[in-house]
Amino acid sequence: MGEGPRFMALTPATDLGPATALTCRECGHTRELGPHYACEECFGPLEISYDFADVTRASIEAGPRNIWRYRGLLPVPGNVTDTPNTEPGLTRLVRADQLAEALGLQRLWVKDDSGNPTHSFKDRVVAVALAAARELGFKVLACPSTGNLANAVAAAAARAGIRSAVFVPSNLESQKIITTAVYGGTFVTVDGNYDDVNRLASEIAGEQDGWAFVNVNVRPYYAEGSKTLGYEIAEQLGWRLPDQIVVPVASGSQLTKIDKAFQEFIRLGLVEDKPYQVFGAQAAGCGPVAAAFKAGHDVVRPVKPDTIAKSLAIGNPADGPYVLDVVRRTGGAVEDVTDAEVVEGIRLLARTEGIFGETAGGVTVGVLRKLVESGALDPSAETVIINSGDGLKTLDAISSSVAPSANIAPTLEAFRAADLA
């Protein structure tokens, strides 16, 4: 596979904040910062290395009320807040006592990332990718997407005043097609599944110099944006880590970076070091990481996705093996649920907490329930789950299972007859 645009040498003025190098996750080979994503030695994925300076609770708390309060821990320029961007993050962490009671848990929180500018956690990763891509000299913000990333890229590029180029499977939810097209930009539907679109994007990236495919050729920078979810959870809990966390898994990036965030906060002394367990949530119709976990395998066998949880429908997850590492290291698990359980999860979260999550949220709630029932998750330990997107974007998933209580004439007699009191 091609290695991205080599011609763009970094100028001495390039500022990627505390980032110092790119390090291979497989062999540890290190190279200079730049528009690179695959190791020169072994083709393994590259990850950002840092030299953090002077990041304290006070310096974070004094920062803006969005992800840029953590800019000292991200591969972005120090003046990132001066450039128009969507300012995602600092979404609410909701104490979920009624959901906890319904599932037999004692202390449960929902990190509700549907509160981001385009209503999913993807605004975080895109904001970081855009800031780094500009610094690296890219001119177009692009992506292959299962939907939410398309929204986030199109919106972020519009806000930044640059061109976007977005590629999605043509069978995507109509809500996600509309909510991408509205921002303008180049928007292409492709007759194939996400894995087909992703492969096409890699091929286009190989010949379109200057196009930053956020989750392909600038993926090392993009992935770091997910750390902000972990930072926020720890800060919002009052500078401490939860005992257990349940995270939806598509490519697996979000889960591995939440763990990286917790590890960095421990290393920097921002939270007390303590054990925590990380759990992954997938849909049974696209559960390659859950299958590998249950079989005790280190490799993840690709599958053909068939699930209503389209935002998680990546059959060949790039970070799958690293998810297995994190989950096994921390004593967690990866579990999957059927589409019927996804719908029930969406409805349960809505009914008990007034939070309307998308299908990925339904997957996470469904998996939480299953983990409690199987005993894999400790019901007495403090638990956080992620709702990573907004139910308004996946209405088709539940449109046939919810309805008004009654339809009546505008009279008191009709109200009484309907027996609703």
Ligand X SMILES: *Cc1c(COP(=O)(O)O)cnc(C)c1O
Q: For binding to Zn ion (CB under 5 A), which residues are involved? A: 24, 26-27, 29, 39, 41-42, 44
Report strand pairing: 108-112 vs 46-50.
Answer: unpaired
**For residue 303, what are the CA distances in angstroms to 147, 286, 287?**
19, 7, 8
Nearer to Zn ion, 42 or 178 (CB): 42
Nearer to ligand X, 250 or 342 (CB): 250
Q: Which does 107 bind (CB under 5 to 8 A by kind): ligand X, Zn ion, none?
A: none
Q: Which does 41 bind (CB under 5 to 8 A by kind): Zn ion, ligand X, none?
A: Zn ion
CB of 256 to ligand X, least distance (A): 8
Q: Which does 148 bind (CB under 5 to 8 A by kind): ligand X, Zn ion, none?
A: ligand X
CB of 259 to ligand X, least distance (A): 12
Q: Which does 251 bind (CB under 5 to 8 A by kind): Zn ion, ligand X, none?
A: ligand X
CB of 321 to ligand X, least distance (A): 13
Cβ-proximal residues to 61 (8 Å cutoff; 6+ apart), any chain: 69, 235
Across-strand partners of 246? 279, 385
Q: Which does 44 bind (CB under 5 to 8 A by kind): Zn ion, ligand X, none?
A: Zn ion
Interface residues toward ligand X, by CB under 6 A: 120-122, 148, 226, 248-254, 311-312, 358, 360, 388-389
Report the alpha-carbon distance of residue 217 to residue 294 in Å, rounded: 32
Nearer to ligand X, 140 or 314 (CB): 314
Cβ-proximal residues to 203 (8 Å cutoff; 6+ apart), any chain: none
Backbone angles phi, psi at 365, to 5 degrees: -65, -45
* Nearest partner of 402 among 367, 365, 356, judged by Cα: 356
Q: Which does 339 bind (CB under 5 to 8 A by kind): Zn ion, ligand X, none?
A: none
Give me the sheet containing 46-50, strands edge to edge.
30-31, 19-24, 46-50
| Cβ–Cβ < 8 Å for 388, 360 | yes
CB of 88 to ligand X, least distance (A): 13
**To which residue do tokens 């996705």 refer?**
305
Nearer to ligand X, 99 or 312 (CB): 312
Nearer to Zn ion, 47 or 113 (CB): 47
Across-strand partners of 22? 31, 48
Residue type, 324: L
Nearer to ligand X, 137 or 195 (CB): 195
CB of 388 to ligand X, least distance (A): 3
Report the alpha-carbon distance of residue 377 to residue 388 in Å, rounded: 20
Nearer to ligand X, 187 or 222 (CB): 222
CB of 157 to Zn ion, least distance (A): 32
Q: Which does 117 bind (CB under 5 to 8 A by kind): ligand X, Zn ion, none?
A: none
From the CA atom positions of the chain, what is the Rg in Å? 21
| Cβ–Cβ < 8 Å for 384, 259 | no
| Cβ–Cβ < 8 Å for 111, 133 | no
CB of 303 to ligand X, least distance (A): 15
Angle at 374 between CA 370 and CA 379, to 5 degrees: 80
Nearer to ligand X, 120 or 217 (CB): 120
Report the alpha-carbon distance of residue 59 to residue 310 in Å, rounded: 39
Report which DSSP code applies to 274.
-
Residue type, 418: A
Q: Which does 360 bind (CB under 5 to 8 A by kind): Zn ion, ligand X, none?
A: ligand X
CB of 24 to Zn ion, least distance (A): 3
CB of 279 to ligand X, least distance (A): 13
Nearer to Zn ion, 29 or 107 (CB): 29
Nearer to Zn ion, 28 or 78 (CB): 28
Report the alpha-carbon distance of residue 207 to residue 2 in Å, rounded: 9
Residue type, 24: C
Report which DSSP code applies to 336.
E
Q: Which does 29 bind (CB under 5 to 8 A by kind): Zn ion, ligand X, none?
A: Zn ion
Q: Which does 27 bind (CB under 5 to 8 A by kind): Zn ion, ligand X, none?
A: Zn ion
CB of 213 to ligand X, least distance (A): 14
